[in-house]
Amino acid sequence: MSDRHNLSLVFVASLAVCAPLIGVSACQPVDSAGEAGKKAKDANADGDDKTKKKKKKQKKKDKKSDDGDKKRKAKQKDGKKKAKSCCKFCLEGTPCGDECIKSDKECTQTEPGCACPGSERPAPKFRAGDKARRGLIAADVPAYNKAQGDPIAGNFTLEQAFAGDDKLADASAGKLTAVIDTDMGKITCELYEKQAPLTVANFVGLARGTRPAQDPKTKKWDKGKKYFDGMLFHRVIEGFMLQTGDPTGTGTGGPNYFVLDEFDPSLRHNSAGLLSMANRNPVDPKTKTLYKDPKTGQPLGNTGSSQFFVTVAKTPHLDDRHTVFGKCDTKVATKISKVEVTTNPALRLDHRPKEDVHLRSVKIERRK
């Protein structure tokens, strides 16, 4: 921007100044126009100086503004570059929909883009015994499981879980159902194989013995053993849920591998009788949601394995933190939830029934 300056012309009339001098009597005109011209010239000079100063100041202001624009553009450009490297990886054979995000989107966006080469984000190196306390993104679970000695490469599927039983593999034969036999009666659950295929495959595979699992004592990977048979309900809270699936009965054990979280928006913890996966996913205390991996934008979780629970009330705070994979009748579950319990941290007892309640067996079948 430039300033405009209005200049005024000064007209000065010639005046006759009479100055009585000693010995001289004269009336001599004084050239006041010359004086005025000089003043006007000085005024113009001052005006020019002010104009120059203003222009100089404005120039600096404009330069500062331009520098700011350049910095903003550079920042936006850098942002796009960073966003481009914030990739989401899809696991082969998994209907997860995790692909590369578009370069102009933030990492939290889930719009599909192009497929990512693994070189853009190499998988971390895991070792046997790693605890994964911060959770894992979905893409890293197979590598983690492999490092623990899991003989299954990639994700365990429904096809593998149904192996040896053609009727179970035939979806037209009826709804996939689990009959959980306990010391206090049977709990019948419909399994949501479409919404949570990997979770259901894991549950069915462990129940039938088609999914290898590590024995916590011998450290050997067993296949053919029905994993849940004879386990305790190690944690029971009235008005909340009953939990089982730990071979050690302490709440800390499992088969030494992880299963991917499958949070389907149509499956919420909105009633009693929901069959859901226990896990140790870390939760952000501020947002009450799973932490996000800063490089990929994906949630850090995926720490479920064999432990599961049945709700006896609405538990909406568990949504998008625990995978719902079935719906059960509530009569026996509610009965179990009301047994007398004890808590003793020193003995690793957390709401443990004073009198043992066993899960005798889990039968998988199809029902019309």
Q: What is the DSSP letter of 114?
A: P
Q: Is the pLDDT of residue 253 over 50?
A: yes
The residue ranges of every structural domain in the chain are 58-122, 128-367
Helix spans in 86-189 (H): 141-147, 158-161, 166-169
Question: Which tokens hold the place of 99?
Answer: 């692909």
CA distances from 205 to 109, 154, 340, 355 (A): 34, 15, 32, 29
Q: What pLDDT sits at residue 74?
A: 57
* Cα-to-chain-centroid distance, residue 226: 35
Q: What pLDDT sits at residue 65?
A: 61
CA distances from 348 to 53, 241, 352 (A): 79, 19, 9
Strands of the sheet containing 308-311, edge to edge, are 231-232, 358-367, 175-182, 185-191, 324-328, 274-277, 308-311, 241-244, 235-237
- Among the ranges given (231-235, 321-325, 342-346), the one the predictor scored with the smallest mean pLDDT: 342-346
Rounded-to-integer distance, Cα 317 and Cα 303, Å:
18
The DSSP line for 270-285 is -STTEEEE-----B-T
Q: How confident is the model at residue 286 (pLDDT cuts 50, 70, 90)?
A: very high
Task: Give CATH superfamily name and number for 128-367.
Answer: Cyclophilin-like (2.40.100.10)
Question: Which tokens hold the place of 14?
Answer: 């010639």
Higher pLDDT, 139 or 323: 323
Q: Tabulate helix, strand, coil % of the chain (nearest 5).
A: 30, 20, 50
Q: What pLDDT sits at residue 324?
A: 98
The backbone torsions φ and ψ at residue 215, rounded to the nearest 5 degrees and listed phi first, read -75, 125
Q: What pLDDT sits at residue 250?
A: 92
**How many C-beta atoms lie closer than 10 Å to residue 86's C-beta?**
22
Rounded-to-integer distance, Cα 203 and Cα 363, Å:
11
pLDDT digits (tens, 9 = 90+) for 22-68: 333 333 333 334 444 444 445 555 556 666 666 666 766 666 566 65
Instruction: Determine the number of helices (DSSP H) and then strands (DSSP E) in the chain.
Output: 6, 15
Q: Is the pLDDT of residue 100 over 80?
A: no
Highest mean pLDDT among 64-78, 96-110, 236-250 belongs to: 236-250
Q: What pLDDT sits at residue 52?
A: 65
- Among the ranges given (127-136, 160-169, 170-179), the one the predictor scored with the smallest mean pLDDT: 127-136
User: Mean pLDDT across the stretch 6-24?
Assistant: 34
Q: How confident is the model at residue 164 (pLDDT cuts 50, 70, 90)?
A: very high
Higher pLDDT, 71 or 255: 255
Question: What is the percent of the chain where pLDDT is above 90?
Answer: 58
Mean pLDDT across the chain: 78
Rounded-to-integer distance, Cα 11 and Cα 57, Å:
33
Rounded-to-integer distance, Cα 141 and Cα 144, Å:
5
Angle in degrees, CA 178, 265, 303, rounded to 5: 65
Partnered with residue 364 across adjacent β-strands are: 178
Q: Which residues contact 2 (CB under 8 A, 6 or more apart)?
A: 55, 58
In the chain, the amino acid numbered 53 is K
Q: What is the DSSP letter of 186?
A: E
Higher pLDDT, 51 or 213: 213
Rounded-to-integer distance, Cα 169 and Cα 310, Å:
25
Q: How confident is the model at residue 154 (pLDDT cuts 50, 70, 90)?
A: confident
Report strand pairing: 308-311 vs 324-328. unpaired
Angle in degrees, CA 207, 257, 301, rounded to 5: 110
User: Mean pLDDT across the stretch 335-342?
Assistant: 97
User: Mean pLDDT across the stretch 224-251?
Assistant: 97
Q: What pLDDT sits at residue 347?
A: 78
Burial class (CB within 10 angstroms; exposed 0-12, middle 13-18, buried 19+) of 49 = exposed
Partnered with residue 283 across adjacent β-strands are: 290
User: Mean pLDDT across the stretch 216-242?
Assistant: 96
Q: What pLDDT sits at residue 162?
A: 98
Q: Is the pLDDT of residue 191 over 80?
A: yes
- Among the ranges given (185-189, 286-290, 293-297, 304-308), the one the predictor scored with the smallest mean pLDDT: 293-297
Question: Which tokens hold the place of 317?
Answer: 């705070």
pTM of the model as a whole: 0.70
- Among the ranges given (14-28, 147-161, 234-248), the one the predictor scored with the smallest mean pLDDT: 14-28
pLDDT digits (tens, 9 = 90+) for 268-284: 999 999 999 999 999 99
Higher pLDDT, 90 or 223: 223
